[in-house]
């Protein structure tokens, strides 16, 4: 990567007029210690995520998921926003980013201060009953699982992108799951598993945001699955400029007006500094241009 100022120059020129909709993926959270599925994190590339069909159809697989997720949740719950999340929140608060759509389930955009984030795939810190639909806090479930499994522990090397960890089957075998307190139904994290459909209303909200956008800014997503890539396709169909900042290639590169391959933790804070400096100059009666790199 060249000088950060040079790298962000074409991005800053497109974003300076505001109306930017952010679409973020797992690559934005890697600097918070959460690996991605397909990026530069080796652990993520080896991990096979749980599918919805396996979760609801296989009691042993469900036990294995909850045992692994029970330990993984402790690590996820300690994750904090990184410089990239905070930069997006600054751009949002400064009025340049109008809306944020994230494919992540970690809640870190909201924790960083972004408002009304559309969490396309749900949140890991919430739990839903597949029987009655009641939603409860993951903290509450964590307490119930701790009481049902006193002393449960295992050696954890790293947390996976969907919040679970790798454990030996012998460790998993004695784990006790719990059911919904309201109806006795099956509990599931309130996230969209692979093979599951994103709620239609949420998808419509995302498409509406993209259609309002002056620029679509993709951050840390390989755009491998259609769930996120469809918004890039819609922006391209409408002639809306697409900017992609991601380490490694993406399936949206052919639609990008500007493509940056660089760490988001370096690029986004520099971009926020540059653009918010421009905004301050405009509000003081200055000329709305991007300052020269230097």
Whole-angstrom distance, CA of residue 286 vs CA of residue 289: 9
* Residue 259, SS3 per DSSP: strand
Residue 106 annotated in ligand binding: yes
Sheet with 122-129: list strands edge to edge.
135-137, 122-129, 187-191
Residue 103 annotated in ligand binding: yes
For 39-158, where are the E strands, in sequence order?
97-102, 118-119, 122-129, 135-137
Residue 183 annotated in ligand binding: yes
Residue 247 annotated in ligand binding: yes
Residue 129 annotated in ligand binding: yes
Whole-angstrom distance, CA of residue 45 vs CA of residue 63: 23
Catalytic residue set: 121
- Angle at the Cα of 31 (from 28 to 35), degrees rounded to 5? 75
Residue 24 annotated in ligand binding: no
Residue 264 annotated in ligand binding: yes
Provide φ and ψ at 22, rounded to 5°: -95, 135
Residue 227 annotated in ligand binding: no
Provide φ and ψ at 149, rounded to 5°: -135, 65
Q: Cβ of 116: how many Cβ atoms within 10 Å?
A: 8
Residue 206 annotated in ligand binding: no
Provide φ and ψ at 66, rounded to 5°: -65, -35
Residue 246 annotated in ligand binding: yes
Residues contributing to the annotated binding site for Zn(2+): 129, 132, 180, 183
Residues contributing to the annotated binding site for NAD(+): 103-106, 220-222, 246-248, 264
């Amino acid at each position: 990567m060249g000088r950060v100022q040079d790298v962000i120059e074409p991005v800053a020129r497109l974003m300076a007029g505001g109306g930017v909709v952010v679409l973020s993926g797992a690559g934005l959270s890697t600097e918070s210690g959460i690996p991605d599925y397909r990026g530069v994190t080796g652990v993520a590339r080896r991990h096979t995520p749980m599918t919805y069909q396996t979760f609801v159809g296989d009691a042993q697989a469900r036990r294995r998921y909850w045992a692994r997720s029970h330990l993984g949740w402790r690590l996820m719950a300690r994750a904090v926003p990184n410089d990239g999340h905070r930069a997006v929140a600054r751009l949002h608060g400064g009025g340049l980013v109008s809306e944020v759509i994230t494919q992540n389930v970690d809640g870190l955009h909201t924790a960083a201060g972004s408002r009304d984030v559309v969490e396309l795939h749900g949140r890991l810190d919430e739990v839903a009953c597949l029987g009655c639909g009641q939603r409860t806090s993951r903290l509450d479930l964590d307490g119930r699982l701790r009481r049902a499994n006193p002393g449960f522990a295992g050696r954890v090397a790293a947390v996976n992108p969907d919040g679970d960890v790798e454990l030996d089957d012998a460790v998993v075998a004695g784990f006790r799951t719990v059911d919904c307190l309201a109806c006795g139904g099956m509990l599931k994290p309130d996230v969209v598993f692979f093979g599951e459909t994103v709620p239609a209303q949420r998808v419509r909200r995302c498409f509406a945001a993209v259609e309002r956008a002056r620029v679509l800014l993709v951050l840390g997503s390989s755009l491998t699955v259609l769930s996120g890539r469809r918004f890039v396709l819609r922006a391209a169909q409408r002639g809306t400029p697409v900017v992609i900042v991601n380490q490694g290639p993406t399936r949206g590169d052919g639609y990008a007006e500007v493509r940056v391959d660089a760490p988001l933790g370096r690029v986004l804070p520099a971009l926020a500094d540059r653009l918010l400096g421009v905004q301050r100059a405009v509000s003081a009666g200055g000329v709305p241009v991007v300052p020269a790199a230097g």
